Structure 1
């Protein structure tokens, strides 16, 4: 990694690597790992807990006055009233991990006064560090990454996450999935939202959507996407999505088209959305060629396309997601 990284990002990378070392050691004999069930199909292992402890120890040793919001221990550690809060998922993709399926990651983000400013997603299988500091771009290892440039939804590869908890609304999701599948080239369900978002930022997939998410699933990935020139929000296109439990991310042109498709499935959707999302989709597809290339910053035509699409899909008064940098944290 580059030596001119933000000091807090360097500490986050150190913490992610410490967690990754614990995960990789355990992966050598995954059948020996003790697994507990939080609820049906929702697992936690001693690896999650040990990796989280290593992350928290590293972060609080460097910044003892900072707060912590972690998947397994919540806000038990760290300062309770700090403007600096680390949002941690020590092992995103636990179900993959305990089955030996090599798609899982460590996710660490720093929110300052509710805005994500530092982000690390570490893929221990590939030894890839995805990182971003607000306003300084997104990287994998030392290479700058950008969202994909495709502009037509029918040419895209989209990733998603399936409902798996008791009480999740499976039928509406299957309707939504069927609609997206019919409009794109392919849909994948890798099983770790933070790493899915990192791959959107790197241009390896064109977009991502999922419901039922928690802040630690998406905090770091959200900054990777926006710093790579993409947009991220809830299904109706609102940028302050982290406590909404739903997420869509893509480059600005594809984002507008996905929001036009997904908005009516949002728990925030109103009765008039069906007509407005159809118009939004038309607008997103009708924008002049070339707009998709202007994803650097937040003032180019590409972000205007997404702004028009999302405002029509949901009649809201909101800033463009790219302009806001990263979404509000839920505290």
Structure 2
């Protein structure tokens, strides 16, 4: 079940990745614009999304589509949710940490998801109820038993705005307990790296559906836990995520709530 959707998801991510590799560190500054202050978009984002959508429309024209650049269209019950370039600022600056995220969602949540890191040739793929793989091999979250000594990821975008004090206070409570905290600038890759055991946990506020649609399934199918900052299941709607191994997520949630 879902083999064709999985294959389409992977093929679409690869099509987007090919476009992005052709632009990386070759962008004409004239093709980079600001959507809002400090929130940039480039010709690479748009061309990658077009390539991804063409692949998906060819294989599953009956499904809807939600992309970061092109918005929503078609069926809302079964639709692809796509970030053609997660980590756009990194990409524009030439910082080698960005990815493609493609997922299919239905009324019950994520069905298939793929996160592709073209620079490292890393492919993270999951199917609902069938587990997740990293470059074709089964993957699981780490065995880290709790927050003390955990290796964590986080993010804080310019758009945090008035939520910065809340985030900063939470960070201050988590920092003394973690072995290390990294802020690399791609939420989708952070989620993939929790799913495969590189990171033990992750927390962030204010993410968008395309940031998390594929990564959430990777984490869940790898044995990880996702909640919102109140410990509930409103994380997809709010974009406020607490993620990790069961023990790390539990401890992390307690620290974030104070």
TM-score of the two chains, using structure 1 as the length reference: 0.75
Moved over 3 A (4+): 30-33
Structure 2: unaligned runs, 5 residues or longer: none
Q: Does structure 2 conserve the Cα–Cα contact (< 8 Å) formed by 1:106 and 1:121?
A: yes
User: In the alignment, is the contact (CA less than 8 A) between 1:249 and 1:255 conserved in 2?
Assistant: yes
Deviations 1:251-292 (A, max 9, x none): 10111101111235xxxxxxxxxxxxxxxxxxxxxxxxxxxx
Q: State yes or no: 1:46 paired with 2:70.
A: no
C-alpha separation between the residues in 1 aligned to 2:61 and 2:220? Answer: 29
Deviation at residue 41 of structure 1 after TM alignment: 1.3
Matches within 5 A, 1:1-331: 6-30=3-27, 34-75=31-72, 77=73, 79=74, 81-165=75-159, 167-263=161-257
* Separation in structure 1 between the aligned mates of residue 166 and residue 232 of structure 2, nearest angstrom: 21
Range 157-166 or range 230-239, more displaced:
157-166
CA shift for structure 1 position 33: 6.6
Secondary structure of residue in 2 paired with 1:223: helix
Query: Would you say the 8 A contact 1:163–1:170 is kept in 2?
Result: no
Q: Deviations over 1:279-316 (max 9, x none)?
A: xxxxxxxxxxxxxxxxxxxxxxxxxxxxxxxxxxxxxx
The range that moved more, 232-241 or 8-17, is 232-241
Larger Rg: 1
| Cα shift at 1:152 | 2.7
Q: Distance between the aligned counterparts of 1:26 and 1:157, measured in 2?
A: 32
Question: What is the CA-CA distance between 1:168 and the residue it aligns to?
Answer: 4.1
Check whether the contact 2:139–2:222 (CA below 8 A) recurs between aligned residues: yes
1:87-138 Cα distance to aligned partner (Å, 9 max, x none): 1000000000011111100001100114101000000111111000001111
Counterpart CA distance in 1 for 2:9 and 2:252 is 32
- Residue 277 of structure 1 is matched in structure 2 by none
Give the distance between the partners of 2:44 and 2:244, measured in 1 at CA: 31
Structure 2 counterpart SS, 1:182: coil
Gaps of 5+ in 1: 265-331
1:137-160 alpha-carbon deviations (Å, 9 max, x no partner): 111111111101011312111100
Work out the CA distance in 1 between the residues paired with 2:102 and 2:248.
27
Distance 1:60 1:170, change over 3 A: same
RMSD (CA atoms): 1.6
Q: What is the aligned length? A: 258
Compared with structure 1, are the counterparts of its residues 107 and 168 closer, same or farther at alpha carbon in structure 2 (3 Å cutoff)? farther
Deviation for aligned residue 1:199: 0.1
